[in-house]
Amino acid sequence: MKRTIIFLLALSLFSLTQFAFAERYGDFVYYKTGADEATLSNYTGKATELIIPGTINGLRISKFEGRVFNKNLTSITIPDSITSLYASSFTGCSKLTSISVSADHPTLKSVDGVVFNKDMTKILCYPPGRHGEYIIPEGVTVIGDHAFSRCYYLTVVGIPNSVTVIEESAFEDCSGLANEITLPSPVVFIGERAFYGCRSLTLFTLSNDLDYIGDYAFWGCSDLISVDIPDSVTSIGRLAFNDCDKLQSINVSENNPNYSSIEGVLFNKDQTELIMYPPRGKKYLSIGSITFRLVDEKGNVFDSEGNPIDRHYTIPGSVTSIARNAFEGCNNLVSITIPDSVITIGVSAFSGCRSLTSLTIPNSVKTIGMGAFYDCSSLTSINISSSVTEIGDHYINEEILWPDEFLTVWVVICEIFKGCYNLESISVAEDNPKYSSIDGVLFNKDKTELICYPRKAAAEYVIPNDVTYIRAYAFNNRDNLTSITIPDSVTVIGNYAFSRCINLKSLVISENVTSIGAYAFEWCDNLASIILPKSLKTIGEEAFRGCHGLTSIVIPKSVEEIGEEAFKYCSLTSITIFDNVKSIGSQAFSDNENPVILTFPGSFADDYAKRYRMTVQYF
């Protein structure tokens, strides 16, 4: 799947520029960054004990870039020329137990193979191959970014009373860090992803002076049971405690100025925003390869320790906003009651609530965020009230920060219900001003756009005659769909509209369709025949990619453009293309059964076939 993300393209061009000027000195790869300076970008050797040279070919090595070193290293010596050290350079060095610098190094100091700044107020890098416990020396005030990142074998860490700041990703993915950590009172700042993925932590006691908890700070701490937020905390970052499967409660001090809690559920101070409902334990207990669901004769569910798990929750009447990811991963909830005070349901608000069977959106709700019901695999029906006017729309083209990257998101309404494998109907109130439904299928108000066909709806479907546009993803991944009738009113089939409908066998596209979007029918494995309309002008990229059942195709005279890989990985033996075609994308017919192209001599298709050494026959 192709997506253009500008900043990634710029980064790629920058990287290519570096590699274009990269030079090699033995096992070291470097590139010049100044008149007499160079950056070390790679080490390709297999040494276990390595001394980095201070100069290469007369150039001073001033820094490392990225993940330079391999997993074989057990010790490394840093030259005096490198004045700044980035712990991420050693990510993946799972055997590294010692990092050394000289006693005369101008800015760094190593003690017992651990690197600090010169005055030892900041710990910079702990060797990721060390096992057991480590006590950070007294006097250290800052635990640097990535200082202990991916130190999988670290089991216990002692944090002295001198520490005030824990920077970004300081202990990220320290999966062996066991039991509990108590932060000393002076700690005021926990950076983004600071304890991300510390799966074995069961208890984390926050300091009484703590002010700031960064985005994703404790994401994925799957054994964390409870969190107590002191009154000093003024900011809790996005998704700070999400993906903590066993989290039972988030308890906030009554004197906290910005946050509050009710029975372990996190809210803002005035309880108008529900920030997070804790997942409250795993529903299943695994013993070896066997998984047990702990249920008594009344249907009550218990966690692996035998504690009862809440299965029903009523949101307080003061709440006007359900925050993004607020109920994410709450697999045990079978019902959630939303009061008529709620106006906004945030991005991914109920994502992964796999036991939720039905949900009614009250009349007060105006906005439903992108991915709000993603992976609610037991959801069979949803009722949308008259007040809802935005379903994902307000996030179009917003830059959203995920844990690892920026993405520009083009929102597709139907994707809000992605992963709802048992959804049978989407019902809309008759007086809703923007949306409507017919027999459980979602449309715009005047029913000219088909927006979403539920995953478990009927296997055969006739699209109503008023529809002119089949929206992107409308039928995507509907594996029970075997037959679809598209009326003459339809002019546009959107991107991914019927993608991966693996049991769709035949299709007649209406005579007024002018455009078939990118990926519209990709991987419809059983689609054995298709008649393209005489009105068609554009076939999008990868539109029929992977349709293994297709053995022949006639491209109508009206078609002017065929996108890249449009029919790649089909089983075509015969392709008919008329001379109106002005553009055929790369690999449009590649990986087929040695197809023969029937066309006119001198046509664009003729030139294309010869360029790709395909067999040609003429009319």
Opening angle at CA 121, ends 116 and 124, nearest 5: 30
pLDDT digits (tens, 9 = 90+) for 299-351: 555 555 555 566 899 999 999 999 999 999 898 899 999 999 999 999 999 99
CB 292 within 8 Å of CB 314: no
Instruction: Look up tokens 């991916």; give the residue.
Output: 150
Number of H helices, E strands in the chain: 2, 55
Topology of 26-269 in CATH?
3.80.10
**How many whole angstroms separate alpha carbon 146 and alpha carbon 138?**
20
Average pLDDT of the chain, as a whole number = 87
Q: DSSP string spanning 461-509? A: EE--TT--EE-TTTTTT-TT--EEE--TT--EE-TTTTTT-TT--EEE-
**How many whole angstroms separate alpha carbon 467 and alpha carbon 471?**
10
Residue 120 pLDDT > 60, yes or no?
yes
Confidence label for 22 from pLDDT (cuts 50, 70 and 90): confident
According to DSSP, the β-strands at 290-293 and 284-287 are antiparallel
**How many whole angstroms separate alpha carbon 312 and alpha carbon 338?**
11
Mean predicted confidence (pLDDT) in 277-302: 56
* Amino acid 294: pLDDT: 52
Long-range contacts of 249-257 (CB under 8 A, 24+ apart): 249/278, 249/280, 250/226, 250/276, 250/278, 251/226, 251/227, 252/228, 253/228, 253/229, 255/231, 256/229, 256/230, 256/231, 256/232, 257/231
* Amino acid 280: pLDDT: 81
Tell me which of 25-34, 110-119, 530-539 is least confident: 25-34
CA nearest to 266, candidates 185, 325, 182, 342: 325
Residue 134 pLDDT > 90, yes or no?
yes
Confidence label for 405 from pLDDT (cuts 50, 70 and 90): very low
**How many whole angstroms separate alpha carbon 463 and alpha carbon 484?**
7
Query: What's the gap between Cα 504 and its chain centre?
Result: 29
CB 543 within 8 Å of CB 550: no
Residue 4 pLDDT > 60, yes or no?
no
Q: What are phi and psi of 236, to 5 degrees?
A: -115, 120
Widest pairwise Cα distance in the chain: 86
Residue 292 pLDDT > 60, yes or no?
no
Q: What are phi and psi of 89, to 5 degrees?
A: -65, -20
Residue 2 pLDDT > 90, yes or no?
no
CB 563 within 8 Å of CB 588: yes
Confidence label for 87 from pLDDT (cuts 50, 70 and 90): confident
Mean predicted confidence (pLDDT) in 452-476: 93
Domains 270-457 and 459-619 are alike in CATH topology = yes
Instruction: Look up tokens 């820094």; give the residue.
Output: 63
Q: What are the CA-CA distances from residue 119 to residues 82, 167, 187 (Å)?
A: 17, 18, 20
pLDDT digits (tens, 9 = 90+) for 352-374: 999 998 888 999 999 998 889 99
Q: DSSP assignment, residue 611?
A: H
Q: Which CATH class is domain 459-619?
A: alpha beta
Helix (H, G, I), strand (E, B) or coil at 290: strand
CA nearest to 580, candidates 550, 533, 536, 515: 536
CB 190 within 8 Å of CB 212: yes
Q: What are the CA-CA distances from residue 589 to residues 93, 531, 541, 595 (Å)?
A: 44, 17, 11, 8
Mean predicted confidence (pLDDT) in 139-151: 95
Opening angle at CA 76, ends 70 and 78, nearest 5: 115
Residues with Cβ within 8 Å of 386's Cβ and at least 6 positions away in sequence, in order, are 363, 429, 430, 431, 432, 433
* Amino acid 450: pLDDT: 95
Q: Which two tokens stand for residue 508?
A: 């007649």
Residue 295 pLDDT > 60, yes or no?
no
Mean predicted confidence (pLDDT) in 527-545: 93
382-403 burial code (b ≥16 CB/10 A, e <16): bebbbbbebbbebbeeeeeeeb
Opening angle at CA 188, ends 186 and 192, nearest 5: 135
pLDDT digits (tens, 9 = 90+) for 553-604: 999 999 999 999 999 999 999 999 999 999 999 999 999 988 999 999 999 9
pLDDT: which is higher, 479 or 86 = 479
Residues with Cβ within 8 Å of 125's Cβ and at least 6 positions away in sequence, in order, are 85, 87, 90, 99, 114, 115, 144, 146, 147
Query: What's the gap between Cα 441 and its chain centre?
Result: 28
* Amino acid 481: pLDDT: 92
Long-range contacts of 438-446 (CB under 8 A, 24+ apart): 438/464, 440/381, 442/413, 442/414, 443/467
Confidence label for 69 from pLDDT (cuts 50, 70 and 90): confident
Q: Which two tokens stand for residue 458?
A: 């009927």
Mean predicted confidence (pLDDT) in 479-501: 93
Topology of 270-457 in CATH?
3.80.10
Residue 223 pLDDT > 60, yes or no?
yes
Mean predicted confidence (pLDDT) in 420-430: 92
CB 123 within 8 Å of CB 136: yes
Residue 9 pLDDT > 60, yes or no?
no
Q: What are the CA-CA distances from residue 333 to residues 65, 186, 277 (Å)?
A: 46, 39, 11
* Amino acid 406: pLDDT: 34
Helix (H, G, I), strand (E, B) or coil at 514: coil
* Amino acid 127: pLDDT: 95
* Amino acid 419: pLDDT: 86
The ranges assigned to domains in the chain are 26-269, 270-457, 459-619
According to DSSP, the β-strands at 312-314 and 335-337 are parallel
* Amino acid 303: pLDDT: 52
Q: Which runs of E-coded beta strand occur in 244-394?
A: 249-252, 259-262, 265-268, 273-276, 284-287, 290-293, 312-314, 321-322, 335-337, 344-345, 358-360, 367-368, 381-384, 390-391
* Amino acid 164: pLDDT: 96
50-59 burial code (b ≥16 CB/10 A, e <16): bebeeebeeb
pTM for this model (two decimals)? 0.81
Proportion of the chain above pLDDT 90, given as a percent: 67
Tell me which of 179-188, 323-332, 380-389, 552-561 is least confident: 179-188
